[in-house]
Structure 1
Amino acid sequence: MGRLTMNKTANLAVALSVVAVLGGIATVGTQSAVKRSVLQQADIVSPGREAIMTRTEVSMGGTSGRHTHPGEEVSYMLEGTLVLEVQGKPPVTLKAGDSFMIPAKAIHNATNKGNTPAIIVSTYIVEKGQPLATPAQ
């Protein structure tokens, strides 16, 4: 293998590793329906835990899919409308300006029933090293 080929292979391996790591954070729903970007990630005072702040966009008609987080989620709706379903609770319609909290490990799903993308800013307080979101069974 030539040096150029090895460099391309190494670059591809690094790129795929980054995609794999971010893929666990990016979304539980379909790639086209939900786009999650990490805005900030920092250690907090509680040992073994961290805060992760994200901006999530759910396209019109998009859904997050049923999933859980390893810690609490505190969120604020910037734009749009979502129907939030948390297992064991009635569905709630959220609109721009609303805030909500989802307990750790609660199975939930968000669906955009509006006619514009929904944009949410969320902060998660989670165990370090755990995937931000895990599909629910």
Structure 2
Amino acid sequence: MFDRRHLLRASGSAAAGVLGAAALPAPAAASRTARPPVASDPTAGVTRTLLQEHPSPADGWEAVQTLVRIPRHQESGRHSHPGIEVGYIVRGDVLMEFDDRPPLRLRTGDPFFIPDGAIHNARNVGTVTTMMLSTYVVDASKPLVTTC
């Protein structure tokens, strides 16, 4: 098992390879002075901040909770998780796009559920930075995020 907390705080290609580039948060000091996202990279500025992680009662699984921030006009990028995601839109408007079903329009206060392995993309379609509370129950031996 690898330490997701360390990987979420790490930077560079090693962490990006394990969690996916969109999973890497900007360092706290840099986020206050960072340049605006580059228009050619729709995932620029997207962060996942680890809030907590705990072993699951099922062997080999764990519960991980993150706060996902998606700036205006940006998106998470197509990705999947090795288990379920249960989420809540804390702030903002999101179009949750799926490869295998119609998209969902989610607004502040809406809950959502993403099945194991479902490829999805969260697109910020609102006027503020979207904040989503995401809780995952995932296979502890696999990366939390796999980009597609």
- Do they superpose with TM above 0.5? yes
The count of corresponding residues between Structure 1 and Structure 2 is: 121
1 CA distance for matches of 2:127 and 2:10? 33
Match of 1:73 in 2: 85
Match of 2:22 in 1: 27
Shift of 1:22: 4.9
Is this contact kept in 2: 1:58–1:64, CA < 8 A? yes
Match of 1:113 in 2: 125
Is this contact kept in 2: 1:59–1:118, CA < 8 A? yes
Is this contact kept in 2: 1:84–1:94, CA < 8 A? yes
Do residues 126 (structure 1) and 121 (structure 2) align? no
Match of 1:36 in 2: 48
Shift of 1:27: 2.1
Match of 1:47 in 2: 59
Cα distance, 1:25–1:66 mapped onto 2, change above 3 Å:
closer
Q: What is the identity, as a one-letter code, of the residue corresponding to 1:19?
A: S
- Residues 13-56 of structure 1, C-alpha deviation per residue, up to 9 Å, x if partnerless? x99x9335654267257342x11100001101000000000000
Is this contact kept in 2: 1:55–1:121, CA < 8 A? yes
Cα distance, 1:26–1:46 mapped onto 2, change above 3 Å:
farther
1 CA distance for matches of 2:132 and 2:64? 14
Is this contact kept in 1: 2:72–2:129, CA < 8 A? yes
1 CA distance for matches of 2:146 and 2:51? 20
Q: What is the identity, as a one-letter code, of the residue corresponding to 1:131?
A: P
> Equivalent of 2:112, from 91, 100, 103?
100
Match of 1:5 in 2: none
Runs of 5+ unmatched residues, structure 2? 1-5, 24-41
Q: Give percent identity, aligned residues only.
A: 36
3-state SS of the aligned residue for 1:115? coil
3-state SS of the aligned residue for 1:121? strand
